[in-house]
Structures are given as C-alpha cells and as structure tokens.
Chain A
Amino acid sequence: MANEFYIYLSILTPLIAFFITPLLSSNPNLRDSLGPIGGLITFYSSINIASLYLDGEVLSFTFFQISETLSISFKITGLGVIFGLVASGLWILASIYTIGYMRGNKEKNQTRFFTFYSIAIFAAICIAYSGNLLTLFIFYEVLTFSTYPLVAHKQNEEAKKAGRIYMGILVGTSIVFLLPAIIIVWVLTGSLDFSTNGILKGNIPNEYVTFLLALFAFGIGKAALMPFHKWLPAAMVAPTPVSALLHAVAVVKAGVFSMLVVITYVFGIDFLTETNGAVWLIWISSITLLLSSCIAITKDDLKARLAYSTISQLSYIVLGGAIATNIAVQGASIHIVMHAVGKITLFFAAGAIYVATHLSKISDLNGMGKSMPLTFVAFFIGSLSIIGVPPMGGSWSKFYLMLGSVEKDYLLVIYILAISTLLNVYYLLEIPAKAFFQQKRTNIQVTKHPLTVYPTFFAAILTIILFIYIEPLKDITNLIFGN
C-alpha cells in the first residue's frame, strides 16, 4: 500500500493544481508557482515509481469497479514508467518557461490557461499509469477535451477553425475507430487488462488481426498517422508553451504511447510477428515519416515546420512498434524520451524568439543569431538531437530502430530512415544556419524574457545529458516485456 502512494501522489498533484489554480487568480505569483512545485512533486513520485519498478515491484490498484469486467484501474508498466517520467519531468521545465512566455507576451486569461494546463498533465499521467484499455481511453479523451481551451486560447476566428479541425479529427477518430476496437477486444477476450505478452493470442482469428490493428492505429489519432495528421499543424495556433509541452510531449506522446501499449500489451509482439498483422503499419508509418518531412521543408512558418517534423518523428515510434521486435520497441520507447526533450527545446526556442521579436517566419530570422545567441545555440543542439547525431540523446533511439529493422531484414526501412535523416538535416539546420551566417535585414527590437531563454538552454543541455546517462532508461526498457 505504501508504495502505491506514489501513484496517488503523481496523479493527484496535477489534479489538485487544477482545483487550486482558479482560486488563486488574484495572486498571479502564487498561482504560477503551482506549476513548478507540482512538476517537482510529480517528477519525484515518478522517479520513485521507476525505481520501485526496477526493483521488480508490481504496483497496481483499482480506482473504481464499474462492472465485473470494466474498471478504472492503474498499473505500472515499463512503457508507462517512461512516459510518466517524460511528462512529469518536462512539466517542471515547461511550467517555468510558461510563466516567462505568458508574461512576456502579455496573454489574456492566464488563470484559465494554467487551469487547463494542469488538467491536461493530469490526463497524461493517468494515461501513462493506466492499467487497462478503458482507463486509457477515458483519459485519452479527457486529454483531448482539456486541451481544446488551450488550443482555442486566443478565441478568434483562426483559433475557432483550428479548434474545429483539432476536435474533429481527434474525437472523430477515437469514436469511430478506437472505441469499437476496444469493444471488440472486450467482447473477444472478456477483459481489457494489459498483460506483458498481450491478451489477444488465441482469442481472435488470425485474419482479423490486421483489421483490428488498423482500427487501433487509425483510431489513435494522437499518433498523427497519415491521413489523420492535420490536427497537429492546426493545433499550432495555441500559445507556444502548449505546442511545446502538449503538442510535442504530452498529447502526441500519449498517442504513440497508446500505440506501443496496444502493440505490446494487447496484441503482443510475438503474436503480431506470427500473424504478420503489423507489416502494413511499417509501410504506412514509413510513408508518413517521409511525406511529412517533405512537407516540413515547404513550410516557412517556424511552428508549422516543427509540427510536421513532429509528425515525422512520431512515425519513427509507430514504426518501431510495427517492426515488433524487442529491440525495435525498446528503440521506439527511448525515442519517446529523446524526441520529447529535443522537440521541446526547439519549441521553447521558437517561443522565446516570438516573445522577444514577434517573428514567426523562418525567412525573417536571418542574422538573429547575434541578438539571441543562447536561444539559437539551444535550437542547434536540439536539432542535432532530433537528427540523431552523437553526442545527443537522439542518436540512441535511431540506432536501436535501425538495429531492429536489421534484425527483421527490413533493409528498405533502413534506407527510409537514412533519407529521412537527410531531410531532417535540411529543414532543421537551415534555421540556425540562417540565423548565424546571414545578414540581418532590418532593425528588429529584441526584448527577451529571461524565463523563456534559460529553460530553453537547459533543455538543450538535457539532450546531451541523456546521451551519457542512458543506462537507467535502458534498464527500464529491458523490463517492458517482463523479466
């Protein structure tokens, strides 16, 4: 019981922040300090959960038994530990950054913003520690709805349109594909609980595996698999902290996390290998990752380019799951961490630039490197991590993914990964290159807010730390499939 305390703590902290924030609207300093404090507490308990998990403890509890086979329950799994650590750890960083951004940018309705920000984190943590498909689905939807007020924060015509696309795709896919998929699993197996070797083996005719997996893959719209990827660029109308924490970390990672959970804990990778049910997913995700890289090149808006880059990177993770070997899934789950840290650096930088100069177009950034050196160096480091250059964390996950595809003789996949890396180099490094080596065109006033710059730089350093300090992460991923 005492150990389950940490699950409660990590789930309840953001929830309490959600309830307290509106009460503190008259005292902005106190209100804004809730974020970093909450982040620290949640991260602390996530670390404890991780170390308990490494010690082989099985932590789980049922919050509510709806009927015999339906319950809202939580259980610590290897994948969940990783996602929980990412979401809570980056929440600390993002909440400090958010204060700088919201104040530097003089945004309206800050209390409402912080309120929904905490509930979104709450949903993400609940997804990470969910013990069955129902719980996962519930908080998946809570996450969608709680981020809507954040996406539509500006309450103008543009935000309205983007909000429609956002909700339309995310809720639409989850209702039309994901929900029936879950119910089919429920009817077939009589249970929705996750198990380290999957629960479907022997319960489903082999020829239906592909169909059911397709329902899941397209139903989890948050994984942004083409053709259901449009919501992510649309969500970029939100203030940058939302794009940074939610649309580079919590929301999209909740999507790919759900994909990995479904692949490993519902289907089971051995079962998928046996039935060849996931081969098509390899190609769909390959197409997505190449196409979205190509689209990213054409985008001049910095956040839109980062959004398409995110879509491409998410497909790496789906790809890892679809290859369905131990190493590939490990690579995919490490990529959850690495991409999160790398991409949050890039978004932080984009937001810091916007706060300081109100520039959002890449073509306007010529020569800005001299006025904002720290930010652009951070952007450079973050880009290298996304591309996968040592000594940045991103190199590990790409290495594992390639190892996984070699193991299964998918040589074409290796080529695709290589081409995509080249594309990454092209569309990401263009930005710091322009900033440092080209001439400034006009005089632009720069008013930096320190709380936006330092978290950015810290996140960049984190990518290097993660390269060196990879052992604990590997230990956790080794346990994804049980001992």
Chain B
Amino acid sequence: MMPFIIKNLPILIVITPLMFSLIVAVLNNNRLAWTFSTFASFLTMIFTILLCFEVSYKSNISYYLGNWPPPLGIEYVIDRISIIPIMIVSVIGLIATLFAHNFFTLEIDEKLVSKTYSLWLLTIAGLIGLITTADAFNLFVFLEISSLSAVALVALGSKVDRKALVAGYNYLILGAVGATFYVIGVGLLYGVTGTLNMGDLAQKIPALGLNKSVIVAFTFMMLGIMVKAAVFPLHIWLPNAYAYAPSPVSVLLAATSTKVSIYIIVRISYTIFGSSYEIYSFESLRYILLYLAILAMFAGTIMAIFEKDVKKLLAHSSVAQIGYIVLGISLATSTGIASSFIHLINHALIKAGLFMSIVAMGYYTLKRIDVKTIAGLGRQLPITFFSFVICALSLAGLPLTVGFISKLYLIKAAYISEGIWLPFLILVSSALSLIYIWKLIEGLWYNEKSLKIEKIKELPEIYLPLLVIAFLNIYFGVDASLIIDNSFIASDALMSGIK
C-alpha cells in the first residue's frame, strides 16, 4: 500500500480533493459535507507532507500520467520550486476548510451548502493541479477548473449581497480573457514546436531564434497569467471578488489563488523560456514588471487607505502585496526571486489570518463589514482580536513576525540590484500601509461601540484555525530558516535553468 501511495503522490494530491468534490456534491447533510471536505483537505495535506520528504532527497519527481511518457502523455513535475506553492495551497486549504463551516451555514442557502463544498474542493484541486502539471495545455485545463469554480463560489455570496453576482461576472469575464490569452500563446507555441510539454518546449525554443510566433506566444501567455495574478493594472476584478464572496471563499482565494498564478509567471519565464533567456531576456519585460510593481505598491496602498469596507480594504492591500512579490521577481536575481518566494509564503499566512479574523467579526452583522461596524469589537472578541492584531502587525512588517522577514530580504535584494532608491520606495509604501492597518486596529481598540448586539460570544469552533495562523505568523517570524532556506533552494534551482 505505502509504496503505491508514495509512487503516486504527485497525482494523489490532485485527485483526492477532485474525487471528494464528487462525493460531497451528492450529500444532503451539511455537517457531513463539511466533515468530508475537512477530511479531504486533511488527506491532501498529509500527502503533501509526504511529498515534501520525497522531494527533499530526490529533488525532482517526474510522474507520467497513466504511464504515458511525454511529449505525448501528460507529465507532472514536483521539484523544490513547485513544492512551495503546493504547501501553501494545502495548508491554507485545510485551515480555511476548518474555518468555513459556520460561515457557509450562515451565508448560503441551506440547499446549496453541500454543492458549495463540492466547488470548494474543486477549486483546491484545480489550484494544486496548476502547480504540479508540466504540460502547457493541461495547465490551461486546470486554470479553467479553478477559475470557474472560484467564480461560482464568489457568486454564491449573493444571499448576503446581490452585488456578488456582478463581482462574480466580472471575475468570469476577465478570467476568461486571461485564460484565452494564455491558450492563444500555447497554441502558437504548439504550432512552431509541435510539443506541449514544458521541458520539451524549453529544449526546442532556443533553436527557433527570434521567431515572431514565439515572441507573440510569450507575450500572450504572460499577459493572460498576469490577469489571473492580478498584477497592477490588471487587478480590477480582484477587490470586488474578494469583498463580495462568502467569507471562507475570501480567505481561500486571497491566500492562494493569486499566489499560484504568480508561481506560473515564474515558471513560464524561467522554465519554458529560461533556456533562451538571452533572447527573451527578461531585460525588457523586467523593467515593465518592476514599474508595474512599484505602481501596484502605491496604488493598492492608497486605495486601501481611503477604503471603508474592510474586506475591500484587505483586497486592495493584496494588490499592493502582489506588487512586492512581483517586484522581487522583476529583479531577476537569485536573492530577488528568493525574496519573492519568501513573501509568497508569508503573505499567504498573513492574508489568510487577516481575512479569517475580519470575517469572523462580520459574522454578527451579516452585512458589509465597515470600518465603523467593527468599532469596539476587540474587547468582546479577544481571541479574534488577538489573531487579527498579530497578522496586521505582520502585514506591517513588525519584527518577530513573518512580514519582517519578507521585508528584510526584499529590501536587501532591491538594494543590491538597484541601489538605494528602490528600497526607499518600498519602505515609504510600507510605512503608508501602516495608516490603513492602524485605522483597523484603532477601530477595534477604542470603545465606541456601534453594533447594537447585546451578547456577542466568540465561536469556539474557529479558535483553532485563528490561533494556528497567528502562531505560524510568529513562529516563522523567529524560526524563519525553513522558509528562507527553501526559498533560496527554489530560486537557485530556477536560475540554474537559465543558459
């Protein structure tokens, strides 16, 4: 049994949530559906952990789906790079599933809850599939699976606020445009190389030299994924989608979906086109990404400062944080990419915690969570407030939290490659971010109560996920070596692919 599992781990992490999503869809009992989903995501995480051990001494696992060798068959590759986003998705997936139950019961029609869990698991399966696959077209399939199920999940927020339908629609249209762009690029590449396998593509592209189709393909693919990754200014779908989605969906999407897309950006530019790095050198794209990232940092932060709706505020802050991650990639140095990976992990921990604690506060209003409606809640919800403050300070980059580690390495990387001006811009924007973080903490800390609810009690069910995420934010802020070392291993592995 065990060798079989070990051998098939790369597919098991995808197939487990996929299969369970089918089972969950036909269940009538909501609690049972939740239990099954929790079990599925728990199993996925166990498999991921096993895979981690496997990868740490094999360094590269190649898995042929149905034993069909590439380029004909579909190949799954797990290496020191892809294990990072897989870990993010499965850990956050489990925490978010644990957290989801109360909120789905409250915010979604009772009949739809089990279907919601089905979509939920489908999203997780799609995201993990996106990371593992080494086939450019298969990637498109997973892109659609994860996007469409995520769109449906966002639209389910319509019981609370009808605007969720519009938000979901926008997400659908822009997501479809992005996916189409991507598939156009893949089509062009297939036309000139005759292969879809990423490793194969990487080998064949250099021979084509400055072929126009390849250049156009590269552009299309990158643009398509940049929409998905919400790189400024292609982020407009994101704030509304995060804000109007049902609470647990905001948590899952904010922490995982854009991270996975950013990983794909890295894969496309370094793995597929990395072998002809000189020709498609990042140099031109690099500066575009760099300036977009700087714009994102400031635009996202400033939008967040003026935003009153807390979930939207956090979404705008995500846009800014994606800016930091993209900035690290755009430096195109080993330290730069490593700092991106560090922030990729850390930001997932931070944003998951922030969204969880904020929506937990919104549980009592069932309305939009305004800066004013949460006023004074800190005292009544001490555990929620505690984990909120930890994650918020982590977002601000306070030492002893993960946010500080990210900032430290990002600034070091920026200083080494660009000199003092870039760190200065990063730090100014992160100082600005204190304004909106402080607005939230202050609102919770002071006494002006605006909610007229007599008895507010915390839900003991959500203590576990909240405290776990707060703990992780602090633990990896002190013992950061695990994250730092693995990020550097990943970035070195990526850079070694460049000739």
| Interface positions of A (Cβ within 8 A of B) | 64-67, 70, 72, 137-139, 141-142, 145, 149, 152, 155, 160, 163-164, 167-168, 171-172, 175-176, 179-180, 183-184, 186-187
Contact = CB atoms under 8 A, between A and B. Distances in A.
Contacts of B393: 145
A175 B420 CA distance: 14
B431 A176 contact: yes
A142 B442 contact: no
B431 A171 contact: yes
Given A64-B478, A145-B393, A183-B412, A155 B447 contact: yes
Contacts of A167: 434, 438
B398 A145 contact: yes
Nearest to A175: B431
A184 B431 contact: no
B424 interface: yes
B415 interface: yes
Interface stretch (B234-242, B267-275, B479-487): B479-487
A65 B481 contact: yes
B400 interface: yes
A155 B480 contact: no
Contact of A64 (B398, B446, B479): B479
Contacts of A183: 408, 411-412, 415, 423
A175 B397 contact: yes
Contacts of A137: 399
10 contacts: A64-B479, A66-B405, A66-B479, A67-B485, A138-B399, A142-B398, A160-B442, A175-B430, A180-B423, A183-B423
B424 A141 contact: no
Given A175-B430, A183-B408, A141 B447 contact: no
B434 A142 contact: no
Contacts of B351: none
Contacts of A179: 407-408, 411, 427
Given A66-B481, A163-B442, A180-B423, A171 B434 contact: yes
The 10 A-B pairs with the shortest beta carbon distances in the complex, nearest first, are A138-B399, A175-B431, A141-B399, A176-B427, A172-B431, A180-B423, A183-B411, A176-B431, A66-B480, A183-B412
A65 B481 CA distance: 8
A155 B407 contact: no
Given A142-B398, A183-B411, 11 more contacts: A67-B484, A72-B478, A137-B399, A145-B393, A145-B398, A152-B445, A179-B407, A183-B408, A183-B412, A184-B415, A184-B420
Contacts of B411: 179-180, 183
A390 B499 CA distance: 74
Nearest to B405: A66
Contacts of A172: 431, 434
Interface residues of B, number: 33
Contacts of A145: 393, 398
Nearest to A67: B484
Contacts of B415: 180, 183-184, 187
Contact of A142 (B399, B428, B447): B399
Given A167-B438, A184-B415, A175 B427 contact: yes
Interface string B422-445: 011001101100100010001001
A179 B405 CA distance: 12
Interface in B403-423: 404-405, 407-408, 411-412, 415-416, 420, 423
Interface string B382-405: 000000000001001111100011
Contacts of B416: 187
Contact of A180 (B420, B478, B479, B480): B420
B335 to A, nearest CB: 10
Contacts of A65: 481
A355 B71 CA distance: 83
Nearest to B480: A66
A21 B484 CA distance: 36
B324 to A, nearest CB: 14
Contacts of B420: 180, 184
A223 to B, nearest CB: 19
A67 B445 contact: no
A160 to B, nearest CB: 6
Interface string B153-179: 000000000000000000000000000
Contacts of A141: 398-399
Contacts of B400: 138, 142
Contacts of A139: 399
A186 B481 contact: no
A179 B434 CA distance: 15
A348 to B, nearest CB: 28
A151 to B, nearest CB: 12
Contacts of B397: 175
Contacts of A187: 412, 415-416
Contacts of B399: 137-139, 141-142
Contacts of A180: 411, 415, 420, 423-424, 427
Contact of A155 (B396, B428, B446): B446
Nearest to A144: B398
A171 B435 CA distance: 11
Nearest to A172: B431
